[in-house]
Structure 1
Amino acid sequence: MSTASILPAARRTTRRLTIRRIAAWIASRAIDPRASLWFVIGFALVHAFLWTLILVKLKAAQDVHMDVAEAYAWGQRFLLGYGKHPPLSGWIAGVWFRIFPVTNWSTYALAMATVSFALVVCWLIALRVVDRRRAFFMVVMLALYPIFNFKGFKYNADLAQLVPLPLLVLAYLNAFEKRSFKSGLWLGFAGMLALMTKYWGVTMIGAIGLAALIHPQRAQFLRSPAPWVAIGTMIVAMIPHLVWLEEVNFVPFTYAGDVYALSSRELNVQLVIGYIIHNLGLLAIPVVLGLVALLLG
């Protein structure tokens, strides 16, 4: 047998061993209780950095999306509302562009920083139901979800929800476990952040409320101060924005009614079906790759 026929096989073996070593190193960091948090934060930072570079290249011939320009304009003044939405997405943009230059790359960096923050919080949520190895696997699959990479290129109120909504779920799990006054404060504050980002946050608040009511330990939770402190904290924290809403005659709701009013039931059904198909398509990439990884593992 010639040397030429042996070398390719040797290279393949070396390559497989290298991949296995890298995979083993990643697994060891992901399951280490002392290193896993910083490892996940590092993964999120690398994710944000790489996708910012990719988006700069992909979008080089395009103008900044109008939603991003709108968020930048809102952030020039820290108001209690901006006509279309509650103020938190504008506040985040305002702080961001006081630190970073107003350039195309910084808008993509803002979007990727938002989704990468969500990766870390989702990892903290996953740790409450699975081990560290599976929690990191979830982070990797989530990073492959298109909203967390190329489809998340534009920072707006929708993308900004990836900051408070995972925090709300984490705060709820913490409050349900500890049932303390302090945990109720955090839950109420998280609920306020969700509503101050976009009013759709009320659906998540309703979801965690339903989860609490159908849980077998609901009586213990409802007898604790946590849920009532959370409700009170959220209402008190929302008062300035509620006053602003009344002063502007609830203009964000008028805007939503004008923009999202549908002319017919057929169009409504069409849009719902399109929404479902679109989201199933987005899920296909991480689901398929996750199944492949599980089968190969």
Structure 2
Amino acid sequence: MHTDMLHDFAFSALAERSDSQPAAWRRPFLRWLDGIEAGWAIPLLLACFVIVWTIYLSIAYAGAGLHPDVLETWTFGRQFGWGYNKHPPLMGWVAGGWTAVFPLSDWSFHLMAMTNAALALWFVDLVSRRFVTGDKRVIVLLLLMLTPAYQFHAQRFNANSVQLATWPLATYCFLRAFETRAMLWSIAAGLTTALAVLGKYYSIFLVMSFAFAAMAHPQRRAYFTSASPWISTAAGLAALSMHLDWLVATDAAPIQHALMHAKSNLCTSLRDSVFFLLGLVAAMAVAAVTWIIVAGARIRQFPAEMAALNDGLRLLAYVAVGSVGLPVVNALIMGTDLPSLWALQGLFLFVVVVVCGASYRIERFYTVNLAMLTAGVAIAAAIIAAPLHALYRNNHGYEEGRTFYQQTAQEATRQWRELTGRPLAHVGGTESLALATTFYSDDHPSYGLPTTARQPISDSPAEANDDRGWVSLCFRDQTDCIAAAESAARPGDYVKREFVVQARLFGWTGCTRTVVAFLVTR
């Protein structure tokens, strides 16, 4: 105990000395921190975040195609809809809107993913600034940047990562509605919560967490006897009305897809729930350890500080508990899968409550060190880790075949045009190759077989019934895919070909794989 006290005293003295007489290299950081309340420091931080991590993604995946989830998201967004066969529509809307402005390229989608993550952090800052000013606002963001949620999870822009931005935005509006019970904030809470649900149905747990937090809060009577919760409910249902109508018309296709995750028994669900919680703890480990180091001996105040939270932070604490506890309860009751990545978008709640609930000032010494740590991790990732990752994957590939996407799409399109003399209209087969071909082929065919095929291979068959033919693509070791393609094509209507594709990274050749193509000419 005595040694710990001396250690903490030494660090405290060092922090005070650094703040009063900062080293020259610290002064630019101190000027940056002075700009937080002036309004330019946070945007600068987020702009640097987007630039560095977009560079990381562009280098790390230079020899590979986009993740299949990203390709699927773009495929959904090619046509506006109130829903899609697997998911609600928000991620498709975002991808469609983005590609209406930015080019159809890998770097563009990396930029979109990081922009979404930066927007999420901006909304988190909206929540933080309700309770703290100055350095603690940036500490919240820096700690979140030390989690995997806003870089590695965010880079797969799909129904999970789109929630990174919608959850803090909805939380901010709910917080304001609960505080003020004003009509405009109540409407905003309903609309933004509906937006979160349009991102992924998992957001129903955010809705339930809002209800749980409101009922558990000491001001619950004032809130529920006001018009605010009912205005929010009406606004949310109105915003969801077109999607609900689409669900009825399509026999709730996305919900049927979601129910595929509800096939576990109690033992499996219990195990998944334990790993769900452990996964969230692991995702927060670096940020948590960093905060403990910053707090030092003051971490002993944590229980008392949590007990003394003000009304707004108490509300957020209840939302945080609900966002983790309610999915576990649901998994145990319904037997659903529960990967921890489904809940990463809610980690900001815990960071905001802990940092903003701390009653003590954080010395600039620690804030600058935290900024240096976060920047060092990002720069090292871009300069060192990204090239090593690209080289490794060029030689060893990915299970889903990302290193061969562009080559496969180009070769399949070339062979189709050589055989038929017309653009490729439809592509099916193994999902990853089919999605990649829709994106990387100059013809940008529709994903899925036309309705003239006897057995559609894809979950998302093309809308039009035409006779322009199609191509089905499988890796040679995917026997099920090959069998399905042979079954879908009529004998004599197709040509079966094989070709070898090889990974390439800036001229360096890498691993190879054989693709089987069924060219159905009709």
TM range (shorter): 0.7 to 0.9
Q: Which of 19, 23, 38 is the matching residue for 1:17? A: 23
Cα distance, 1:102 vs structure 2: 1.2
Q: Cα gap change, 1:275/1:223 in structure 2, threshold over 3 Å: closer, same or farther?
A: closer
Partner of 1:148: 150
Counterpart Cα distance in 2 of 1:236 and 1:152: 29
- Aligned pairs (5 A) from 1:1-297: 17-30=23-36, 32=37, 35-36=38-39, 38-258=40-260, 260-295=261-296, 297=366
What are the Cα deviations for residues 85-143 of structure 1, in whole angstroms up to 9, with x where unaligned?
Answer: 11011100100111111111111111111110011110110122233321211011112
Cα distance, 1:293 vs structure 2: 4.0
Counterpart Cα distance in 1 of 2:232 and 2:134: 29
4+ residue segments displaced more than 6 Å: none
Cα distance, 1:57 vs structure 2: 0.8
What is the identity, as a one-letter code, of the residue corresponding to 1:89? M
Checking the alignment, whether the CA contact within 8 Å between 2:86 and 2:253 is kept in structure 1 is: yes
Checking the alignment, whether the CA contact within 8 Å between 2:33 and 2:41 is kept in structure 1 is: no
What is the identity, as a one-letter code, of the residue corresponding to 1:24? L
What are the Cα deviations for residues 259-297 of structure 1, in whole angstroms up to 9, with x where unaligned?
Answer: x13354333333223322222222112222333344563
Checking the alignment, whether the CA contact within 8 Å between 1:195 and 1:201 is kept in structure 2 is: yes
What is the identity, as a one-letter code, of the residue corresponding to 1:110? M
What is the identity, as a one-letter code, of the residue corresponding to 2:244? L
Q: Cα gap change, 1:227/1:265 in structure 2, threshold over 3 Å: closer, same or farther?
A: closer
What is the identity, as a one-letter code, of the residue corresponding to 1:61? G
Q: Cα gap change, 1:122/1:246 in structure 2, threshold over 3 Å: closer, same or farther?
A: same
The gaps in structure 2 that reach 5 residues or longer are 1-17, 297-364, 367-522
Counterpart Cα distance in 1 of 2:166 and 2:68: 23
Counterpart Cα distance in 2 of 1:261 and 1:223: 37
Checking the alignment, whether the CA contact within 8 Å between 1:51 and 1:150 is kept in structure 2 is: no
Checking the alignment, whether the CA contact within 8 Å between 1:179 and 1:226 is kept in structure 2 is: yes
Checking the alignment, whether the CA contact within 8 Å between 2:124 and 2:168 is kept in structure 1 is: yes
Q: Cα gap change, 1:145/1:21 in structure 2, threshold over 3 Å: closer, same or farther?
A: same
Counterpart Cα distance in 1 of 2:268 and 2:218: 41
Q: Cα gap change, 1:22/1:133 in structure 2, threshold over 3 Å: closer, same or farther?
A: same
What is the identity, as a one-letter code, of the residue corresponding to 1:27? L
Alignment RMSD, CA only? 1.8
Counterpart Cα distance in 2 of 1:75 and 1:25: 43
Counterpart Cα distance in 2 of 1:152 and 1:136: 20
Q: Cα gap change, 1:217/1:250 in structure 2, threshold over 3 Å: closer, same or farther?
A: same
Counterpart Cα distance in 1 of 2:144 and 2:124: 9
SS at match of 2:23: helix
Cα distance, 1:232 vs structure 2: 0.6
Partner of 2:324: none
Q: Cα gap change, 1:267/1:214 in structure 2, threshold over 3 Å: closer, same or farther?
A: closer
What is the identity, as a one-letter code, of the residue corresponding to 1:247? A
Partner of 1:7: none
What are the Cα deviations for residues 202-235 of structure 1, in whole angstroms up to 9, with x where unaligned?
Answer: 1111111111122222222223222111111111
Counterpart Cα distance in 1 of 2:279 and 2:76: 30
Counterpart Cα distance in 2 of 1:269 and 1:199: 22
Q: Cα gap change, 1:132/1:221 in structure 2, threshold over 3 Å: closer, same or farther?
A: farther
Looking at secondary structure, tell me which structure has more strand per residue. Answer: 2
SS at match of 2:229: helix
Counterpart Cα distance in 2 of 1:108 and 1:264: 38
Looking at secondary structure, tell me which structure has more helix per residue. Answer: 1
What is the identity, as a one-letter code, of the residue corresponding to 2:154? G
Give the alignment's TM-score, normalised by structure 2. Answer: 0.51
What is the identity, as a one-letter code, of the residue corresponding to 2:288? V
Cα distance, 1:63 vs structure 2: 1.8
Percent identical among aligned pairs is: 28
What is the identity, as a one-letter code, of the residue corresponding to 1:127? R
The gaps in structure 1 that reach 5 residues or longer are 1-12
Q: Number of residue pairs matched?
A: 278
Give the alignment's TM-score, normalised by structure 1. Answer: 0.88
